[in-house]
Amino acid sequence: MTTEQHLLLVRHGETQGNREQIAHGQTESPLNEHGIKQAQTTAEMLLGWERCYDKIYCSPLSRAHDTAQAISDALGLPINVHSGLMESNLGDLEGATYKELHEFGYAKHSIQDDDFTGHNGESPRAVADRIEQSILEIRALHPNENLIIVSHGGAIAHLIARLTGSKPAFGPQFIMHNAAITEIILPEDSVPEIIVLNHHEHLPAEFKIDPTQGDSNNNRPPLTVDDLTLEWLQAAMAPHLNGATFSAFEPKIIGVGEGFMGQLARVALSYNEEAAGAPTSLVAKFASTKQETRDMAADQKLYQREIGFYKDIGDRVGVPIAECYYSIYIEESNHFVLLLEDLAPGETSDQVIGTDKETSREVIEQFARLHAKWWNNPELEQYEWAKWLLTAMPMEQGLELLKQSMIEVEETGKFDAYPELKRLMPLLGPLFKFDPAPPFPFSLTHGDLRSDNIIKPSAEGGRFAIIDWQLSGIGDPVNDIVRWMVQSISIEDRRETEQELLGLYYERLVEYGVKGYSYKKFINAYRTNLVVVQLMFSMSMDSVDQSSERAQALFHQFYSRLDAALVDWEIEKTLKVLPIIYPFIKIMLIVQKTFRQKK
């Protein structure tokens, strides 16, 4: 007799009720077209599953039975029906919309009270008792066999909570996608162990129905910090809580004057039980509440960039970042939600004062590592979010914006305190005669490397990390270095340490494997990227929120430090020669890139 048994729990495919946000409970609701395809896709996936299964048991409701039938057809296994595997009896709430469930407080009451029956239906404890007893009966009939159980979202969540000893009985942290699977080991003499939870990666994107991202008031993603709810946080954070449940949360806005493109909040988390390993706080990041700012972000796909970064490469980017717990982008309204690791007690430098020399050195070390890892890496070209940012704006439009900025500068005197920036503006116009060549060499770039986006250890602890990846993607790696030097270091410290830091960066690139890139090319790229940063700050930035005193102080330092760097590097000479030599540089870059692709 085997000493351990496996259960494969399968939630049924999508029904029209799921699609329309209606809770059917024990009421019949057949699979819709999507649900049939989901069931077939899951069945096909199980043909290649690493473990063999012997029997299929399912709920008598047609949506579960038809899902089981697809699996039966694929695996050649018989189907057995067990009435105890039915969904929760919702009593008066059978057929209610998700919105009505939320208004009634069904999830809230069920999470807080295992014996809640205010809806005249089954209590969470009763559902857990029923489905646990059903599994015991089934296992007694098949002690030597692995079993596939096809049931419902609520019933399965209650079962997983009961098997793993998790609270509450309602099991909101275990709600699965339609047609997703969870695999559990049932050892003879020890606690059951989840080895696969809510596996749905096999489903094509159009067939994925996420139970935490629906359209109902209680499940839809919050658009601002004020929209956060306990139920939504519980569902979104479930994979990171080890079965624990929230009792309360307390958000607090942070980063005023720093989060120019969005809203940031630190969210303190309280639990109903001991929550070893679960976060006690997190950082929630949202789109800007200002429509003008969101429109600018949409033009440059800033929100998609950060979401794409975390989803596609965040776990292997090669430098320290915050862990991403949850992410979603809502294309219709250009909103997004990110739930991130709270890096406190780590802290940022005061960018107005300037970053200390030790932190600057660590930044250069880490960015040399980042750039070398992704140096000319063709994988980046596969991601839509990583598209080179400058290609998003036609050159004619850019030239017109520059002309408008020059008029504004003359009329308002906004650059009177930055004489070099103002004096060199007319020399930028000729650069718009040429379509820019895609960067080569290229790498993954941060795009907004400055003090506010670097976390460093404080006296209380913490760790080094790089945050805020809204401008990440393919770019000239030297642009990151220029941005750091002219945005985050005081003028005095830059002049003292610049050559040392540039030398360190280049040495590390070579050490980490970058070849065919001379120090002379690097310094020339540094000069050119000073011009790029100059061009960016010469444009109007009225769409960026600069209303706070903090933002105004920051931008003053940006302009002052850049102004000094333009003088120190004699950028006037570069600006005068670039229109002459640029066509030749562009041809050489294109030839080099073509040659690389043919190697």
Q: Per-residue confidence of the chain (599 residues) as pLDDT tens digits?
A: 346 899 999 999 999 888 888 999 999 999 999 899 999 999 999 999 999 999 999 999 999 999 999 999 999 999 999 999 999 999 999 999 888 988 898 988 898 899 999 999 999 999 999 999 999 999 999 998 999 999 999 999 999 999 988 888 888 878 889 999 999 999 887 789 898 988 888 887 655 555 544 433 445 788 899 889 888 898 888 888 877 889 999 999 987 544 557 899 999 999 988 888 899 999 999 998 887 778 878 877 899 999 999 999 999 999 999 999 999 888 878 889 999 999 999 999 888 999 999 999 999 999 999 999 999 999 999 999 998 876 445 667 777 888 888 898 899 998 999 999 999 999 988 877 766 667 889 999 999 999 989 999 999 999 999 999 999 999 999 999 999 999 999 999 999 999 999 999 999 999 999 999 999 999 999 999 999 899 888 886 655 556 678 778 888 999 999 999 999 999 999 988 877 665 544 434 433 443 344 34
The reply to whether 356 and 335 lie within a common domain is no
Domain count, the chain: 3
- Token pair, residue 424, equals 């060199």
The reply to whether 296 and 202 lie within a common domain is no
Tell me how far apart the alpha carbons of residues 488 and 286 are, in angstroms, rounded to a whole number: 25
The per-residue pLDDT for 544 is 58
Structural domain span for residue 503 = 344-598
**If we measure between CA atoms, which residue out of 339, 336, 270 comes closest to residue 305?**
336
Tell me how far apart the alpha carbons of residues 366 and 363 are, in angstroms, rounded to a whole number: 5
The reply to whether 142 and 176 lie within a common domain is yes
- 218 inside domain: no
Whether the full predicted model's pTM is greater than 0.85, yes or no, is no
Instruction: From 298, 318, 340, give the residue that closes a domain.
Output: 340
Rounded alpha-carbon distances, angstroms, from residue 104 to 56, 121, 218, 543: 36, 13, 11, 42
**Furthest C-alpha separation in the chain:** 88
The per-residue pLDDT for 596 is 43
| Residue 407: burial class (beta carbons within 10 Å; 0-12, 13-18, 19+) | exposed
The residues with which 372 forms a beta bridge, in sequence order, are none
The reply to whether 470 and 458 lie within a common domain is yes
The per-residue pLDDT for 484 is 97
The reply to whether 398 and 334 lie within a common domain is no
To which H or E segment does residue 135 belong?
Answer: helix 124-141
The reply to whether 108 and 229 lie within a common domain is no
The reply to whether 400 and 542 lie within a common domain is yes
The per-residue pLDDT for 189 is 78
- 407 inside domain: yes
- Sequence-ordered list of residues with C-beta below 8 angstroms from that of 311, at least 6 positions apart, any chain: 327
Q: 335: domain CATH number?
A: 3.30.200
- Token pair, residue 251, equals 């958000």
**Can you list the alpha helix ranges (DSSP code H) found in 374-490?**
395-412, 419-424, 477-487
- 473 inside domain: yes
- 188 inside domain: yes
**If we measure between CA atoms, which residue out of 406, 413, 410 comes closest to residue 429?**
406
> HSE on the CB side for 156, CA within 13 Å?
30
To which H or E segment does residue 535 belong?
Answer: helix 519-538
The per-residue pLDDT for 436 is 65
The reply to whether 293 and 200 lie within a common domain is no
Residue 456 has what DSSP assignment? B
Region of 120 on the Ramachandran plot (φ > 0 left; ψ -120 to 50 alpha; else beta): left
CB 306 within 8 A of CB 338: yes
| Residue 391: burial class (beta carbons within 10 Å; 0-12, 13-18, 19+) | exposed
Tell me how far apart the alpha carbons of residues 248 and 95 are, in angstroms, rounded to a whole number: 29
- 105 inside domain: yes
Tell me how far apart the alpha carbons of residues 278 and 67 are, in angstroms, rounded to a whole number: 34
The reply to whether 422 and 438 lie within a common domain is yes
Tell me how far apart the alpha carbons of residues 217 and 537 are, in angstroms, rounded to a whole number: 42
The per-residue pLDDT for 392 is 46
- 291 inside domain: yes
The reply to whether 88 and 197 lie within a common domain is yes
The per-residue pLDDT for 236 is 87
Q: 421: domain CATH number?
A: 3.90.1200
The residues with which 458 forms a beta bridge, in sequence order, are 461
The reply to whether 264 and 242 lie within a common domain is yes
- 484 inside domain: yes
Tell me how far apart the alpha carbons of residues 455 and 347 are, in angstroms, rounded to a whole number: 5
The reply to whether 551 and 449 lie within a common domain is yes
Neighbours of 478 (CB within 10 A): 26
Instruction: From 298, 325, 340, give the residue that closes a domain.
Output: 340
Please report how the helices 491-511 and 549-568 are oriented relative to each other, as an axis angle in degrees rounded to 10: 70
Tell me how far apart the alpha carbons of residues 106 and 369 are, in angstroms, rounded to a whole number: 50
Instruction: Indicate the SS3 state at residue 125.
Output: helix
- 513 inside domain: yes
